[in-house]
């Protein structure tokens, strides 16, 4: 199968009959389920993770880990391992036949803790997440525990679980289905999964090269070595290249997956002197689909169980990790602080909107790469012919619009602006930006706000904040979820305020990215999305904002 040694995780026998209900049961120990379990554990919420297998995902699968995913995993304690093992790439290249059409640069602005993308095989990411979960006493990993039945009541979810030692029943306050595109939970509840299925076929060949490897994402339309279709090339860890060949609708999978035919394509691509070993081969078609609702009573759907997109743009795994980040703090607030179930409903509203945006972008990429109609193909080919020399045509070339955080523009948790004088500042629903910081706390904004509610106040000098206002904001409470009070300044000129973390903006990046002025204030959610923003400090508005977040919307 290749050079990676798949770990085998220990099997645990079923619990005794009549075992007490659990707060959260998670079906599926993949990227999404493990991220959610780890996030809940760090917020003090126990969970049981059920998986029918006893190892990580077979094959490299989701390989492009986006910055936002790395930021989430940094909070959970695994991002550094992903970055250290993976391949960082900043440059992409689009080619027509043997001629470059254009190159694009993903090098981030200064002061970003993580790169735009790191390529690392999914099995490594899952392994790191499993190992981190095993360190957490509040995560109960149950491998070879297969869900074979699901039921619901007004305040509980029920699952029947099959194991080598017989079946047992498990009751949970909340059941989260993270069990992939063929979700057994979704099928057990007979819920629709609607959208578009594409019949173009693709071949993935992961190969370990024995020659020099490019550290660039390369995409070809009609290359000389595969003239009828497209090819995508990515570098991965362990000197592995992913080569993705478009085969077309009429390809015979049984013929295409024969090693001699795969090697024939690779030889045409890399030349007579290249040498490689096969790591993983996969033939696939894909679809862009979503459920109508992601919250069905006490059953919640996340990741590919809820929505699936084409692989162009790295929106699948990254979108699923964002699901877990959105859901984790809301489950914690409901289970530990008595927040209403309607807060979980906002997960469905926000992440369904995000999935529809990802599907829209993914479908547009797919329609450009594999046009369904003759007129679409004529437009695509004319665009490519012009793109080398004409900038407007270059902007129309779509080899996969790469994953970016989706703003929750219509979320019921957003607090309406009271001022119209905002420039580049993140609006309610958008992700809060990163920037380097100094002082008596975190060294980056991403660390300062992640995983908790955060009140961020900007001042030119710390002495501008009155002790009375500082004390009023320090007294605000959000139950068991912590509230960070962050004073971001250009000049630390006074002693610390009790309950506050004072941070110096290095290089004016935090001020600039937040369009901050004296007393500009942001309320940031635990998943790093902005809930509200103000041009002046208003403790009463901040208190109302925290109440709104814990109530699931306006009263």
Domain membership of residue 252 (yes or no) is no
Domain membership of residue 2 (yes or no) is no
Shared domain check, 171 and 60: yes
Shared domain check, 444 and 342: no
Domain membership of residue 220 (yes or no) is no
Shared domain check, 179 and 58: yes
The span from the CA of 150 to the CA of 17, in Å, is 18
Of 332, 365, 398, at which residue does a domain stop?
Answer: 365
Domain membership of residue 145 (yes or no) is yes
Shared domain check, 140 and 49: yes
Q: Are the C-beta atoms of residues 401 and 315 closer than 8 Å to each other?
A: no
Q: Which residue has the higher pLDDT, 399 or 485?
A: 485
Shared domain check, 445 and 359: no
Taking each helix axis from N to C end, the angle separating 67-76 and 122-134, rounded to the nearest 10 degrees, works out to 20
Domain membership of residue 271 (yes or no) is no
Domain range spanning residue 51?
22-86+116-193+288-365
Span 475-533, pLDDT tens digits: 999 988 899 999 999 988 876 789 999 999 988 999 999 999 999 999 999 999 999 99
Shared domain check, 446 and 347: no
- Domain at 513, CATH number: 3.40.30.10
Of 348, 365, 382, at which residue does a domain stop?
Answer: 365
Of 347, 365, 383, at which residue does a domain stop?
Answer: 365
Domain membership of residue 160 (yes or no) is yes
How many structural domains comprise the chain? 2
Shared domain check, 320 and 464: no
pLDDT computed for residue 11 by the predictor: 97
Shared domain check, 449 and 357: no
Span 498-510, pLDDT tens digits: 999 999 998 899 9
pLDDT computed for residue 106 by the predictor: 74
Phi and psi for 487 in degrees, rounded to 5? -105, 110
Q: Does residue 360 carry a pLDDT above 80?
A: yes
Domain membership of residue 374 (yes or no) is no
Shared domain check, 310 and 168: yes
Shared domain check, 127 and 32: yes
- Domain at 61, CATH number: 3.50.50.60
Shared domain check, 453 and 357: no
Nearest to residue 432, comparing CAs of 550, 545, 513?
Answer: 513
Q: Does residue 1 carry a pLDDT above 50?
A: no
Q: Compute the average pLDDT of residues 194-221.
A: 84
Domain membership of residue 399 (yes or no) is no
Instruction: List Cβ neighbours of 53 (8 Å cut-off, separation of 6 or more).
Output: 29, 143, 144
pLDDT computed for residue 105 by the predictor: 78
Say how many residues make up the chain. Answer: 555
Long-range contact pairs involving 160-163 (C-beta distance under 8 Å, separation at least 24): 161/14, 161/50, 163/11, 163/13, 163/14
């Amino acid at each position: 199968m290749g050079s990676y040694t798949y770990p085998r995780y220990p099997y645990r026998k079923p619990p005794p009959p009549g075992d007490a209900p659990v707060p959260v049961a998670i079906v599926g120990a993949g990227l999404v389920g493990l991220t959610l379990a780890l996030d809940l554990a760090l917020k003090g919420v126990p969970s049981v993770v059920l998986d029918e297998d006893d190892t990580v995902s077979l094959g490299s699968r989701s390989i492009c880990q986006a910055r936002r995913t790395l930021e989430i995993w940094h909070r959970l304690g695994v991002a550094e391992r992903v970055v250290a093992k993976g391949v960082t790439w900043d440059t992409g290249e689009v080619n027509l036949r043997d001629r470059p059409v254009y190159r694009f640069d993903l090098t981030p602005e200064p002061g970003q803790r993580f790169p735009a993308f790191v390529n690392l095989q999914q099995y490594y990411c899952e392994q790191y997440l499993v190992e981190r979960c095993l360190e957490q006493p509040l995560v109960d990993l149950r491998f070879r525990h297969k869900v074979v039945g699901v039921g619901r009541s007004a305040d509980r979810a029920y699952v029947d679980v099959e194991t080598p030692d017989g079946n047992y029943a498990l009751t949970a306050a909340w059941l989260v289905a993270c069990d992939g595109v063929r979700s057994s939970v979704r099928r057990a509840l007979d819920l629709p999964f609607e959208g578009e299925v594409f019949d173009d076929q693709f071949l993935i060949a992961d190969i370990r090269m024995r020659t020099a490897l490019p550290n660039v994402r390369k995409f070809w339309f009609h290359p000389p070595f595969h003239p009828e279709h497209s090819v995508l090339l990515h570098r991965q860890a362990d000197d592995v290249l992913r080569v993705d060949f478009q085969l077309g609708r009429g390809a015979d999978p049984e013929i295409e997956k024969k090693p001699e035919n795969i090697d024939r394509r690779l030889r045409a691509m890399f030349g007579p002197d290249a040498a490689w070993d096969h790591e993983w081969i996969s033939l696939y078609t894909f679809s862009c689909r979503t459920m109508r609702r992601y919250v069905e009573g006490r059953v919640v759907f996340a990741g590919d169980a809820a929505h699936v997109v084409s692989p162009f743009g790295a929106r699948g795994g990254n979108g699923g990790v964002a699901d877990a980040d959105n859901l984790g703090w809301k489950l914690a607030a409901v289970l530990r602080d008595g927040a209403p179930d309607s807060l979980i409903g906002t997960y469905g509203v926000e992440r369904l909107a995000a999935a529809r945006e990802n599907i829209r972008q993914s479908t547009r990429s797919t329609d450009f790469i594999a046009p369904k109609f003759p007129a679409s193909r004529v437009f695509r080919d004319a665009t490519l012919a012009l793109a080398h020399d004409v900038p407007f045509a270059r902007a129309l070339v779509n080899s996969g619009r790469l994953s970016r955080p989706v703003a929750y523009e219509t979320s019921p948790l957003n607090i309406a602006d009271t001022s119209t004088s905002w420039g580049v500042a993140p609006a309610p629903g958008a992700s809060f930006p990163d920037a380097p910081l100094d002082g008596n706390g975190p060294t980056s904004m991403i660390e300062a706000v992640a995983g908790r509610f955060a009140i961020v106040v900007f001042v030119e000098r710390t002495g501008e904040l009155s002790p009375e206002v500082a004390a009023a904001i320090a007294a605000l409470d959000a139950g068991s979820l912590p509230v960070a009070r962050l004073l971001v300044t250009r000049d630390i000129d006074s002693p610390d305020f009790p309950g506050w973390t004072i941070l110096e903006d290095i290089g004016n990046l935090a001020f600039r990215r937040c369009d901050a002025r004296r007393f500009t204030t942001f309320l940031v959610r635990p998943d790093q999305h902005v809930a509200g923003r103000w041009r002046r400090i208003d403790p009463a508005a901040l208190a109302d904002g925290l109440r709104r977040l814990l109530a699931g919307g306006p009263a």
